[in-house]
């Protein structure tokens, strides 16, 4: 029997792990999945931030819990996966969102900063996806992986940004998404990417100040920055059976910025 649209988007009975879920875009995604019916576990490095975010989610009626872990470190990723599987059971939805950025001219960009960004933004995504897939998704032949990329991975830096490691990492995330989708399709695992544009957050605060929020909003066809709702719909589409035939794709959620910049 063909399901209704409400049934296709329903995540009741599903479990979701969201990295970088204590604030900003990660917390928005946790709200989206929880509001659609999923149990969620959020992770980031700081327990205090996670406690506050978890309380916010629970106040919204969401079954939420947390684990503090640094997704730049292999041992911490392994612990996060093990604790999540122990506490939630199988993971149906993995959202790789934890990320870092660094601003510096390319000619002076510190190597340790390059490694910090790449280890968290690319290596961390790969390791956590690999562990969760091997322990939970592949044996059951089902799963949804959602990777947070960025419109910064679609083209070069605007000269004022000077974030070459970040842009490089997000370009890598897009092709990681494509490659993983092609390889794991046989296990009925979908892998897709979200490419946000400019959203106010703690990580983007310095950049927005330097480039001017009003200037950035004016440059977008929709004449605004992203808000606390703008990623929700795409996230639930990718995570639910409404998107079961979508894999290896990326979509920019940027108010049209990538249209006018030629991405």
Residue 187 annotated among the catalytic residues of the structure = no
Residue 133, domain member (yes or no): yes
99: which residues sit within 8 A by CB, 6+ positions away? 20, 120, 121, 148, 166, 169, 203
In this predicted structure, what is the pLDDT of residue 260?
84
In this predicted structure, what is the pLDDT of residue 230?
97
In this predicted structure, what is the pLDDT of residue 252?
96
Provide the phi-psi class of 147: left if phi over 0, else alpha when psi is between -120 and 50, else beta: beta
Residue 179, domain member (yes or no): yes
Residue 58, domain member (yes or no): yes
Closest-CA residue to 173 (of 201, 145, 208): 145
Residue 204, domain member (yes or no): no
Buried/exposed code over 62-85 (b: 16+ C-beta within 10 A; e: otherwise): bebbbbbbbbbbeebbeebbebbb
Residue 212, domain member (yes or no): no
In this predicted structure, what is the pLDDT of residue 44?
97
Count Cα neighbours of 164 within 13 Å in the Cβ-side half-sphere. Answer: 12
Q: Which of 125, 166, 187, 238 is catalytic?
A: 166
Return the H-helix or E-strand segment holding 11: none
User: Count of domains in the chain?
Assistant: 1
The beta-strand segments (E) located in 63-174 are: 64-68, 93-96, 143-148
CATH number of the domain within which 172 lies: 3.40.50.720
Q: For the full predicted model, state whether its pTM sits above 0.75.
A: yes
Residue 214, domain member (yes or no): no
In this predicted structure, what is the pLDDT of residue 205?
64
Which residues in the chain show pLDDT less than 50? Answer: none
- The residue range of the domain holding 128 is 5-196+225-255
In this predicted structure, what is the pLDDT of residue 188?
98
- For residue 120, the 8-state DSSP code is I
Packing angle, helices 24-35 and 232-239, rounded to 10: 60
In this predicted structure, what is the pLDDT of residue 151?
94
In this predicted structure, what is the pLDDT of residue 156?
78
In this predicted structure, what is the pLDDT of residue 217?
86
Whole-angstrom Cα distance, residue 15 to residue 37?
Answer: 9
In this predicted structure, what is the pLDDT of residue 25?
96
């Amino acid at each position: 029997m063909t399901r209704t649209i409400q049934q296709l988007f329903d995540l009741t009975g599903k479990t979701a792990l969201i990295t970088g879920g204590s604030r900003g875009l990660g917390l928005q995604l946790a709200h989206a999945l929880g509001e659609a019916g999923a149990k969620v576990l959020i992770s980031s490095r700081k327990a205090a931030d996670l406690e506050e975010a978890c309380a916010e989610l629970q106040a919204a009626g969401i079954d939420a819990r947390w684990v503090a872990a640094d997704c730049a470190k292999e041992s911490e990723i392994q612990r996060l996966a093990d604790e999540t599987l122990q506490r939630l059971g199988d993971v149906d939805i993995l959202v790789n969102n934890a990320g870092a950025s660094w601003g510096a001219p390319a000619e002076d960009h510190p190597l340790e900063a390059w490694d910090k960004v790449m280890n968290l933004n690319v290596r961390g995504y790969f390791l956590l996806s690999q562990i969760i897939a091997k322990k939970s998704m592949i044996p059951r032949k089902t799963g949804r992986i959602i990777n947070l990329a960025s419109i910064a991975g679609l083209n070069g830096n605007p000269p004022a940004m000077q974030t070459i490691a970040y842009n490089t990492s997000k370009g890598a995330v897009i092709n990681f998404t494509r490659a993983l989708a092609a390889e794991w399709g046989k296990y009925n695992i979908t892998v897709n990417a979200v490419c946000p544009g400019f959203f106010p957050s703690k990580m983007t605060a310095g950049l927005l100040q330097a480039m001017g929020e009003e200037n950035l909003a004016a440059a977008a066809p929709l004449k605004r920055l992203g808000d606390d709702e703008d990623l929700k719909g795409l996230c639930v589409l990718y995570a639910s059976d409404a998107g079961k035939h979508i894999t290896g794709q990326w979509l920019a959620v940027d108010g049209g910025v990538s249209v006018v910049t030629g991405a």
